[in-house]
Amino acid sequence: MKHLLILIFCFFGKIVSAQEFVLGKVTTEEHIDLQGVVVINLNTDEKVQTDRDGNFMIRGKVKDELRTSSPRYERVAVTLSAEDFSKPLHIIVKRIPYEIEEVEIKYRVTGDLKKDMQHFGEARKVKILKTEIAKDIALGPRLNIPRAHGEFVQPVGPGFSIGKVKNQWDDVDFMNFLIREIPDDFFTEDLKLTKPEISFFIFYVFKDYERKNILKYGNPGYSDIMRFMQVSERKIVDYKSNK
């Protein structure tokens, strides 16, 4: 019986000696002491909080896992080693980044349809661009908005007569302009045309498309491009039925 008590005492003594205290400090990456951080021993469920200087003391043993918990900082897990019982344990936590609310930046069309389409994306977004252009036209001319490529701008003032002006463009010039400025997606996706059909279809639309001043001055603008696209959407049914 005496020997049994000695063995029990020795065993109990080892358990007590194994449960030692760990001294530690919790700081930010900028070495700011953090108060109120909860430190948990996951093996024993013991919890303590850091004081105003970021210090804490908690019971544990080698291979126990400590974890920090704070609403504004990321959790940090530390597995205790023998060295952690001989000197203070330093735990560094990182602040949880705030998610900034997404802000939509309204894109202002430039007048260069190729450039504008690079902003709006590829296929099926032609309609979005058309809507933006229509809104821009509705606002009227603005001096700080660049004109479409090749657009003639009448100088401010009384002006003077320069006599009869010959046409600067023919239909081929205008067709090439439209092919260059209107994204292929409008023809191939919206109108369901093959690429070889595009030029034939443009000439088909020209039958009902007023372009006298465009050919005279070689100066198509936003409204002309939009008008052509709108006429095209009306004429595509007739075109396909007459093929």
Q: What is the pLDDT of residues 13-69, one digit of tens each?
A: 444 445 689 999 999 999 999 999 999 999 999 999 999 999 999 999 999 999 999
* Angle at which helices 126-138 and 113-120 cross, to 10°: 120
Q: Average pLDDT in the 71-75 region?
A: 88
Counted residue by residue, the chain has a size of 243
For 108-156, what is each residue's pLDDT tens digit?
Answer: 656 665 566 565 554 445 655 666 566 555 555 443 434 444 444 444 4
For 156-168, what is each residue's pLDDT tens digit?
Answer: 444 444 455 578 8
Residue partners of 16: CB distance under 8 A and separation at least 6: none
Strand-by-strand arrangement of the 65-69 sheet: 46-49, 38-41, 65-69, 77-79
Rounded to whole angstroms, how far apart are CA atoms 114 and 122?
11
Nearest to 39 by CA among 82, 88, 75: 75
| 9 band by pLDDT with thresholds 50, 70 and 90 | very low
Task: Indicate yes or no: pTM above 0.85.
Answer: no
